[in-house]
Copies of this chain bind each other. A is one copy, B any other.
Amino acid sequence: MVRGHFSPSFESKPIREIAYETLKHAIITGEIPAGVRIVETEYADLMHISRTPLREALRKLERDGLVEYVLRRGVVVRAFTLADVEEIYTIRNALEMLTLPAIVDNATPEGIASLREKLLRMDQMVEKNDIEALSPLARAFHTELTRMSKLNRILRVIEGQDEYITRFSALSIANEPRRQAAHKEHHEMVSLVEKKDVEGFEQLMRKHIERSKENCLAALAHSQFMKA
């Protein structure tokens, strides 16, 4: 937080937002492992901010379920089990299926063009095997697709759950054959939406999510992310 002592928003973003995003990222990537107690003064000093915005960030993380608040003991980073990952995929699957008809209904030529444009950029990443760059793009693709449904509340929940998975979806995408297949599926999705083939879209999507879940769980089983 390199900025003058009193400057609430250097470039239009409260410090608490930065703190929130920083902490969220740190927790999701495992940089701050589960079980760790977040002592306010410690982290405030670390980030060169005061306790006030840090605390507000913690309240948001608390609502997100990323940290747990214990009365008069502050917050502790919550654990994350394999069962959690499964459950998250289950939620995402169920809710995403609900959006599909609305996506097909609301898809505009411009929207589809925008998706195609994203796919084009992704093509290159896949070719170059640049996983680092592909991962966020793939996520953006999905987000944009889902957003077309205009079902804002469902969206909010899906995106909330997605945040938990980001950390793992990178693992999932690391698998070469799966990466190729997933990319091909992304192309198909757009075509089906364009053709307004709801049935086909639903079938494809169900498989797509199921496979990425399998892949993610398999990758996780071999990784050292999980402890329990």
Q: Which residues of A does B touch, CB under 8 Å?
A: 8-9, 12-14, 16, 52, 55-57, 59-60, 62-65, 71-72, 84, 87-88, 90-91, 94-95, 97-98, 151-154, 156-157, 161
Contacts and interface: CB of A to CB of B under 8 A. Distances in A.
Contacts of A14: 71
A65 B57 CA distance: 16
A52 B55 CA distance: 10
A90 B16 contact: no
Copies per complex of this chain:
2
Nearest to A16: B59
A94 B169 CA distance: 24
Contacts of A154: 87, 90-91
A167 to B, nearest CB: 15
Given A52-B52, A60-B59, A64-B63, A98 B94 contact: yes
A143 to B, nearest CB: 17
